[in-house]
Structure 1
């Protein structure tokens, strides 16, 4: 736009009027003309010239520049005329037109609604050239991030009236460019395969339509270059240099090859690791136990970072809220060694000040406060604050949990601002599915996990399958009487058609439990159930015929759990041990004891992958000479035990080769879980299952069943979903070759 600035100055005339006084005229009035939408006060705030001042050509010039910088005007003029013994300075402006419509032309892959999310310009905005061009660059960056590297964006302004224009971004999307190959120049010490593993940018693969990978994104590549440097730093190459990537395109511009130049430099070893700033010898010895970097080893930036975190945690868990550790790395280029010194600055000890709760609309304060591991006046502890955040997240009541720490150096206190964003905790699920046990099933589930905002859980559930039906009402209070006590009850009705009989049961159970410390809990459950067994086949085995008729079971179960997992929903580290013992026979028609030892470990592998190891041993037998029903026994085989074989197939069978349950069970599971699409919380896994169920006369640990396969875990908004495909590796006659299993609910 052409800028026109006109200053009509009457200095000669004014000099004539004031020839005797030999003075410049005084400003007696300031006026703004031409404003239509912009407030006059906003413009006057930019004017430095004041009433009563002697007129100044320098100030007027600066004022014109200041008004232009506001971005609202395409023209500014200044006139000066005599007024009441002085002069009036008149600023005449011409406002830029308003954009009344923003549209897009030529877009095929993305609709207008999607593109409007990218740009920061809307109808009603000022038609500022800089703003318009900046948004064209945003659109260009968006298309590049989606693989359209040669996309062209041209803004076109169409004048409607003197004060109104329409803005159209004309788009030529071009071809979507995929990454054919990523190459490296100069890498000798570290293979290209290892370098690619640390990068987010990857070559286009046959499965990339799921992950969305295989496209060049500039901001992602810049992060990858830093990851490559860190990889070299972790292997002792302190002088590594990673250059800008070179892009080469195919003739049809549909594929690109990326070449990244690397200058590795020499490898450095650690000559010494020292500490500075500690208080006494005892503290020094404790800190040395935390340090993983050792003299003689190859230098590793990752190990050094973990050392810094460990030392910082050591102090922050002892009240030193502002503790800091700064490492000095001094390389010797002649000897190719490096001296590392950890400089410790503990600072002063702090205590917990006020704990403020905000963001909770439905959830009452005490439900949040009782999960916080520190109280006002306690010694500051970073790990306890982190534990508090984890416990609140594990409640599954909140979308986000933020604990902001506000240290007060004068009072030596740290205030905690606990801010939560609530999410719906009630679910109505109506649907159907397929179960490997019951074939087609229909299900209705109404669950409220935060009833009345007090942390109660209430579930109403009904399932109807081809061979079974199940109805239940379950209630749970994890803080019974505002103490760390668990109380719950469950009323249920179940009917299932087995091959040789039908079971119809009604039951009621009560559970009381208590937590001990952070990781231990114990509970006792009393369960009374009335079952009716009918439709027993005339040629059924004796063990099945013995159950026919009404059976009353009165059972007590004791359970103890040790759980250190970092998350109940998606654990990556920690363990879960449980031991349960059930005794039935004090009253009723059945008598048996049953125990199950369940041990599980989660081990982080690489950055986001996890190795899950689990082992279970189950033992049981009859008591008091009473009946031990088949439906109370261990059924080894199926989704939660040995995948790849049918329900109970890896255990004892009757004369018709149908599962009848086991008195003893041995089960081992090995899983390797890895992310597929992190944004969707979709994971893949490969597994190996080993196990068997045994009855009398069978040697415990013999004839083990082996299966292997793969699966998926999706942490959906309605709960975790699991799909597994298992292959029977040592199949016998009458057993399944393989099985696809589907489940909805918590993972083991």
Structure 2
């Protein structure tokens, strides 16, 4: 038997001649050595009782460890198959370059050649992806055993990383350099190749929505002018699969319940330097809501009451979101009614003839299952209570699967975590559920540098530090320093989103602002301190209560240039205002039931007179409505805003009154309309105690490829600033106090560049006063880097 194994071993060695020194230095030599490990020993003719086992050739791994890994022991009687299996276990361990079993009577000699240890891992030829990124992508590690199979898998992982960057021709060749003490240096030689981008992204089968509109939905983008900044224009299979789901969600939310993506095909261009990616879709018909009914299988739940709180209406476009909103409302009503374990099941029936979906909400009693506990894992910085307060349920409450899903979305929306998984499993008994929350944290702090330019304020720079999860408590803190040619601002803002453990946000804002505007003959200093409390009062509404302390001063720049009115206000020196106020907000633009339309209503007042030098009531209100039309290609927006200042006592100054800026009425300089003092050549704007403004605009594509990010806009603004009651105007030459409406039309080019949004406004005043200061062109740019 021994002779047979030796003969087989000799035949095997003669069939594999020694490798040259150069080949031995390469990975290919280890691949051949792997063939030695895979060679089976000669077939044994009988059983062996092992009285002794010896090991040779090992330096790093002990004898006992090798014998144990082989799964054999002294005194054991082995069959031929068992001995072969022991040999294979050592070969498969990935620790040895070669393994040889040599039986000698009742003894067995195991000869091994250990795989080397990785001394160092290097990457050569990589310029597009840094070494640290590639090192994180592979599984081989320094000071670990070299594994040829793992190295080949690592080479594939590196190639995949380049494929995700659009470099599908990248090649990775692993190479080893032998060192002393059975060590090797592992080198990945990388040929990056050219980038292969998506030159064209198109659709077939779409009739309702254009390619341009659908491209805006997808995560994958087609190559454009700024592909250095846009890294989503490469072909990534996972991203394409995600885009298929995004397309379905897009159509489903607009009533196309039969929508399907039939295929997504990518073809190389003739030059083999790009892809044409085509989504073949089937839109189907759009369905609307038909009959709506509620049936109750629970005696405590009156179906008429639950029907009255349903948000959906007959005839509107079907969307799953509408049903989710109704289910949430009905479950909240059940809690108010004391009906536990109520389940709302929407049963949808198709009416093919009328293209309607009849919805029946069935109220039933769900299983009596309770939340036993909520386990949170993975959070090293974020406190458990920050995560737990995203749940409306606590231990002991009835288990509601929908509420758990919504809590999971709220946790992800915090943006504290790279991943957040929320799952429910059976607890200590069938009627108990344990909710597991497993998170992986990510950095939540940021240091931002920014720049801006406008022809009103000039070039500006900003530095902002922000922490979204301060000390793991979910608090937000930001420090901002911004400076422009004509203004400087220093601000601190702090928010505790769950003050006293309730759905109550406590805010604290402190601002210092200084201006030396070229549009006025004076400078200003302003310090504002504002604590506030904000809480929801409805599904889409909130109320903020606040206190404000303000210290402001108008500073003389050149006494000869100041008019009489402004001179009097400068002479008043620094004045303080102490006020209480509130702001009510109702906003459906992001959370409403219509995905294409929404509006904002905001109304606020400040009552000054709680100490300080001034006493007044300042009122502001605005309404903004927005909708998308023409297959959602065109955005229409309309807004109406106004303000009133009712002065009680103190000095009513220009810095307290309402002054126009381009956010109110475009086409004029800051303070370019409204009352003005003509007693000096510089004609200071005085502002007004009242103002009203309306803006109407449309944004639309102008025929350029959407990847350029350029759109056009048309707008029409109309507004008026008037009234100087309680202002000392004696000795001045005042015009515009009675007010008049100004009308402006304009065209805009909106360019969403990688370095920030750029906007060009070209305006023409249709109606203005002689003393107004219009502005026919405005450019604004803001960016962070």
TM-score by length of 1: 0.70
Change (3 A) 1:489 1:238: closer
Q: Is the aligned partner of 1:702 residue 2:741? A: yes
Match of 2:522 among 499, 502, 505: 502
Residue 569 of structure 2 corresponds to which residue in structure 1?
547
Kept in 1: contact 2:289–2:313 (CA 8 A): no
Kept in 1: contact 2:669–2:773 (CA 8 A): no
Residue 215 of structure 1 corresponds to which residue in structure 2?
234
Residue 129 (structure 1) shift: 3.8
Q: Following the alignment from structure 1 to structure 2, what is the Cα–Cα distance between the partners of residues 183 and 604?
A: 22
CA deviations over 1:246-278 (Å, ceiling 9, x no partner): 52432x433444566x59698798999999997
- Structure 1 residues 189-208: aligned runs within 5 Å: 196=215, 199-208=218-227
- Structure 1 residues 380-399: aligned runs within 5 Å: 398=416
Q: Is the aligned partner of 1:580 residue 2:614? A: no
| More deviation, 648-657/432-441 | 432-441
Q: Following the alignment from structure 1 to structure 2, what is the Cα–Cα distance between the partners of residues 274 and 591?
A: 55
Residue 279 of structure 1 corresponds to which residue in structure 2?
297
Partner secondary structure for residue 778 of structure 2: strand
CA deviations over 1:382-406 (Å, ceiling 9, x no partner): 787788788888999x566958465
Q: Is the aligned partner of 1:150 residue 2:169? A: yes
Residue 637 (structure 1) shift: 1.2
Q: Following the alignment from structure 1 to structure 2, what is the Cα–Cα distance between the partners of residues 374 and 216?
A: 42
Residue 616 (structure 1) shift: 2.4
Partner secondary structure for residue 727 of structure 1: strand
Kept in 1: contact 2:563–2:684 (CA 8 A): no
Residue 134 (structure 1) shift: 2.3
- Structure 1 residues 311-322: aligned runs within 5 Å: 311=327
Change (3 A) 1:283 1:174: farther
CA deviations over 1:464-516 (Å, ceiling 9, x no partner): 77656667788888888888585868596857567665366676757565746
Residue 254 of structure 1 corresponds to which residue in structure 2?
273
Q: Following the alignment from structure 2 to structure 1, what is the Cα–Cα distance between the partners of residues 351 and 550?
A: 72
Residue 262 of structure 2 corresponds to which residue in structure 1?
242
Kept in 2: contact 1:275–1:344 (CA 8 A): no
Question: RMSD of the TM alignment (CA)?
Answer: 6.0
Kept in 2: contact 1:664–1:694 (CA 8 A): yes
Q: Following the alignment from structure 2 to structure 1, what is the Cα–Cα distance between the partners of residues 312 and 409?
A: 27
Partner secondary structure for residue 641 of structure 1: coil
Tell me the number of residue pairs that the alignment of Structure 1 and Structure 2 aligns. 704
Change (3 A) 1:651 1:164: same
Match of 1:637 among 661, 669, 682: 661
Kept in 2: contact 1:7–1:78 (CA 8 A): no
Q: Is the aligned partner of 1:80 residue 2:115? A: no
Residue 561 of structure 1 corresponds to which residue in structure 2?
584
- Structure 1 residues 313-712: aligned runs within 5 Å: 347-354=366-373, 373-379=392-398, 398=416, 402=420, 404=422, 406=424, 408-409=426-427, 410=429, 412=432, 414-415=434-435, 421=441, 439=458, 501-502=521-522, 511=531, 513=533, 515=535, 520-525=542-547, 527=549, 529=551, 531=553, 534=556, 537=559, 541-550=563-572, 552-562=575-585, 577-584=601-608, 592-599=616-623, 615-623=640-648, 627-638=651-662, 640-642=663-665, 645-655=668-678, 656-668=682-694, 688=715, 690-696=717-723, 702-706=741-745, 709=748
Residue 744 (structure 1) shift: 9.0
Residue 86 of structure 2 corresponds to which residue in structure 1?
63
Kept in 1: contact 2:622–2:640 (CA 8 A): yes
Change (3 A) 1:101 1:633: same
User: Which structure ranks higher in relative contact order (CA pairs < 8 Å, sequence separation ≥ 6)?
Assistant: 2
Change (3 A) 1:354 1:460: same
CA deviations over 1:21-44 (Å, ceiling 9, x no partner): xxx654444555443334656654
Change (3 A) 1:338 1:207: same
CA deviations over 1:699-744 (Å, ceiling 9, x no partner): 878324455646689999xxxx876543334376741222234679
TM-score by length of 2: 0.67
Residue 179 of structure 1 corresponds to which residue in structure 2?
198
Q: Following the alignment from structure 2 to structure 1, what is the Cα–Cα distance between the partners of residues 303 and 363?
A: 11
Change (3 A) 1:6 1:344: farther
Kept in 2: contact 1:533–1:550 (CA 8 A): no
Change (3 A) 1:562 1:153: same
Residue 654 (structure 1) shift: 3.4
Partner secondary structure for residue 229 of structure 2: helix
CA deviations over 1:394-428 (Å, ceiling 9, x no partner): 999x566958465555353555759694856697x
Kept in 2: contact 1:316–1:381 (CA 8 A): no
Partner secondary structure for residue 649 of structure 1: coil
Q: Following the alignment from structure 2 to structure 1, what is the Cα–Cα distance between the partners of residues 266 and 59?
A: 52
Q: Following the alignment from structure 1 to structure 2, what is the Cα–Cα distance between the partners of residues 181 and 454?
A: 46
Partner secondary structure for residue 208 of structure 1: coil
Residue 726 of structure 1 corresponds to which residue in structure 2?
761
Q: Following the alignment from structure 1 to structure 2, what is the Cα–Cα distance between the partners of residues 95 and 324?
A: 65
Residue 245 (structure 1) shift: 2.5
Kept in 2: contact 1:575–1:601 (CA 8 A): yes
Change (3 A) 1:291 1:736: closer
CA deviations over 1:211-237 (Å, ceiling 9, x no partner): 234433344345456666778888869
Residue 645 (structure 1) shift: 4.1
Kept in 2: contact 1:594–1:618 (CA 8 A): yes
Kept in 1: contact 2:522–2:562 (CA 8 A): no
Change (3 A) 1:635 1:381: farther
Residue 703 of structure 2 corresponds to which residue in structure 1?
none
Kept in 2: contact 1:154–1:170 (CA 8 A): yes
Change (3 A) 1:126 1:536: closer
Partner secondary structure for residue 142 of structure 1: helix
Kept in 1: contact 2:412–2:420 (CA 8 A): no
Kept in 1: contact 2:763–2:777 (CA 8 A): yes
Q: Which runs of 5+ in 1 are unaligned?
A: 12-23, 675-681
Q: Which runs of 5+ in 2 are unaligned?
A: 1-31, 701-707, 724-735
